[in-house]
Amino acid sequence: MAPSDSYFGRDHNSAPHQEEQPLLAGARQVPDARQRRQQQQDDDRERGSGTGTATFTRNLGAVEAFAIVISIVIGSGVFTSPGSIDTNVPSPATALIVWLVGGVLAWTGASTMAELGTAIPGEGGVQPYLKYVFGDVFGFLAAWTWVVAVMPATLAILSIVFVESIYSAAGVTDQADRIEHKLLSILILAAIGLANSISTKASTRLNNFFVVTKFVTIFALVLAGVVVVALQVSDPNRAVGGGDWFQKSWFEYRDSVNPDGSVTHWGALSEWEMFGHLSAALYAALWAYSGWDKAIYISAELSAPARQLPLALNTAIPTIILCFLTANAAYYVLLPWDVVSTTDSVAVTAISRLLGPTFGIFSAVLICLVVAGSLLGNSFVAGRMAVAAANMDWLPRFLSHVGGVGFKSGANADNTSSSAAASDQAPASDAPINAIILSTVLSALYILLGSFRALLTFNGLGEYSFFFLTVLGAIILRYREPGLSRPYKPFILIPVTFSLVSGFVVVRGAAFAPVQALVLVGLWLLGFAFYWVRRWQQVRA
């Protein structure tokens, strides 16, 4: 059956087909804004009742959503990106400004996602929004990109960083391409997938533990910086910490030592060259903040998403910005400034220089726990993206099965029914195990075939291509459907700002990494062919 959605819009006069139903349980797609608002109110009254046909139960709250965003965003970025940012800025103060700007930009994106997540709630992150605004094929391509590219690449990157932290603590920094390193990364990845296969509650409880370790690690770094400041101020002649923070201006240009040993003389650069360096620094900061969008992936599992989703995002993102700013200020206090730009393990380097190699190993253990938490959170949402795509018949239906492993292709009504008979037969796990296995296998392939830096750029291109389209869609909806119920509606300048930035990130990334861009385009073409084959099969059936 051919879809009624066009490539660039929705046919509001045609009756919605089954595959075009919104992903929110119990919701009907209706063309009239007044009816849509009434349906939203009806859904609000039913939240938490367990009715409907959604894959997952609405048993999560704002605290769990807050913890998932914290766990995903505070990962490897704050411990590995400072070096690449410092390389591309003329002063420590500029670096902190870049971290602040990156955080504010991430916040603008999160605010726009919260608007869409409360106006068009459903499973699968950005895919229901793109389907609603641009049509079925755009929703599919978003789901396809996240399932086969973005999320597997993210999990592969984090697994590599986890193992690299262990190697760095042992003083080994050149083993990332060896098969032993890759196999150990895959082992860590499999362990995280197994942990997420237990149940949703078990995953969120374990995630809460990792959130605590993240705050403890950040607090330890900041405390070390505060102690060094206090000691230096009390005795200016004391040799403690990096020393440069006390003797040099934080705002004046200083020559930067690059990882290859070359030196950047900032005063000799043209304005265009300076812009290139600052854009590279901002790109690294935005990667460090990546994950701010992940709360929307569980909006269908929140008991009251209209209230809880904005609350979670608008508390988590400022908390993360504060953590990143204070941690980076601590790095500049703990280390000589010519060292910051030369290391990809700045936290371990700082603690090792300050307290010795034993404490450096301890800090590496903490960072491994931080990265493990980010792995857990990303694996958690990766499975849910595949489930949502399978429920839309974009991917094989067995991926929507929860609570077990196998090729059960029917809908999960038996798992989600609220009747007593169904609850007696409820599976021991409510985790999407088939989908988790798929993301784990794909991530293992990326580990074997890719490298950290290549995967990083590939991941950014995939994410921000659809972030741009999603936020652009939010702007279009403001004018196309002004009567759409929007429980949370940020000022229009917020999505406009993020759309400009995300578009810039995509163009810059493609220009500087044409190979990764071509691979991504190839995956889109493959996905487009897969989409039309499945539609042809549905017509014949």
Q: What is the mean pLDDT of residues 306-334?
A: 90
For residue 381, what pLDDT band results from cuts at 50, 70 and 90? confident
Two structure tokens written together for 178: 């060896």
Mean pLDDT of 276-283: 85
Residue 408 in this model has a pLDDT that exceeds 80: no
Among 45-54, 120-129, 164-173, 217-226, the range with the most confident prediction by mean pLDDT is 217-226
- pLDDT confidence of residue 419: 39
- Which pLDDT value is given to residue 537? 83
> pLDDT band for position 56 (50/70/90)?
low
- On whether the CB atoms of residues 304 and 44 are closer than 8 A, the answer is yes
Average pLDDT of the segment spanning 172-180:
74
**Is the predicted pLDDT of residue 199 greater than 90, yes or no?**
no
Q: Is 243 left (phi over 0), alpha (psi -120 to 50) or beta?
A: left
Residue pair 60/301 in contact (Cβ under 8 Å)? The answer is yes
The 3-state DSSP class for residue 102 equals helix
**66 near 312, Cβ under 8 Å?**
yes
Confidence of residue 445 (pLDDT cuts 50, 70, 90): very high
Least confident of 17-26, 328-337, 384-393: 17-26
Is the pLDDT higher at 496 or at 380?
A: 496
Q: Could you tell me the two tokens for 322? A: 């504060």
Query: Domains plus CATH for the chain?
Result: 60-540 (1.20.1740.10)
Per the prediction, the chain carries an average pLDDT of 79
Question: pLDDT value at position 174?
Answer: 64
Is the predicted pLDDT of residue 52 greater than 50, yes or no?
Answer: no
pLDDT-derived band at 338 (thresholds 50, 70, 90) equals confident
Distance, C-alpha 334 to centroid of its chain: 29
Q: What percent of the chain has pLDDT over 90?
A: 25
In this predicted structure, the answer to whether residue 328 has a pLDDT above a threshold of 90 is: yes
Residue 349 one-letter amino acid: T
pLDDT (mean) for 95-108: 94
**In whole angstroms, what is the distance from residue 50 CA to residue 425 CA?**
16
Residue 420 has pLDDT above 90, yes or no: no
> Taking a C-beta distance cutoff of 8 angstroms, is the pair 221, 456 a contact?
no
- The pLDDT tens digits for 487-535 are 889 999 999 999 998 898 889 888 888 899 999 999 999 999 999 998 8
pLDDT tens sequence across 232-248: 888 888 878 888 898 88
> Other CB atoms closer than 10 Å to residue 242's CB: what's the count?
24
Q: Do 386 and 438 touch, CB atoms closer than 8 A?
A: yes
Q: What is the pLDDT of residue 524?
A: 95
Whether the pLDDT of residue 331 is over 60: the answer is yes
Please compute the mean of the pLDDT values over residues 195-207 and round it to a whole number: 77
| CB 354 within 8 Å of CB 347 | no
When pLDDT is averaged across residues 367-388 and rounded to a whole number, the result is 83
In this structure, of 1-10, 106-115, 154-163, the range with the lowest mean pLDDT score is 1-10
Residues in the chain: 541
What average pLDDT does the segment 410-438 reach? 58
Instruction: Convert the pLDDT of each residue in 63-87 to its tens digit.
Output: 888 887 887 788 778 887 888 899 8
CB 246 within 8 A of CB 337: no
CA distance 354 to 341: 17
> Roughly how many angstroms between the first and final C-alpha of the chain, as a whole number?
9
CA distance 362 to 328: 19
Tokens representing residue 138 in the block? 């755009």
Segment of 4-8, 127-131, 322-326 carrying the highest mean pLDDT: 322-326
Is the pTM for the entire model greater than 0.85?
Answer: no
Average the pLDDT over 360-386 and give the result: 82
In the predicted structure, residue 465 carries a pLDDT above the cut 50: yes
More confident residue, 371 or 427: 371
Residue 46 has pLDDT above 70, yes or no: no
What pLDDT, on a 0 to 100 scale, did the predictor assign at position 81? 81
Span 309-319, average pLDDT: 88
What are the C-alpha distances in Å from 201 to residues 61, 146, 198, 302?
Answer: 12, 24, 8, 13
DSSP secondary structure letters along 284-302? HHHHHTTTTTGGGGGGGGB
Tell me which residue of 453, 408, 372, 432 sits closest to 192, measured CA to CA.
372
Closest residue by Cα to residue 403 from 422, 426, 420, 380 = 426
Which helix (H) or strand (E) element contains residue 264? strand 263-264
CA 62/CA 48 separation, integer angstroms: 14
Distance CA 195, CA 441 (A): 15
DSSP H stretches of helix in 170-304: 179-196, 200-234, 244-247, 271-288
Pick the closest to residue 264 from 102, 82, 91, 99 (CA basis). Answer: 91
- How far is it, in rounded angstroms, from Cα 293 to Cα 299? 11
Q: What is the mean pLDDT of residues 394-422?
A: 61
Can you tell me which residue has the tokens 């200020």?
Answer: 329
pLDDT at 323 over 70: yes
pLDDT over threshold 50, residue 108? yes
The set of residues, in sequence order, having a beta carbon less than 8 Å from that of 268 and lying 6+ positions away, is none
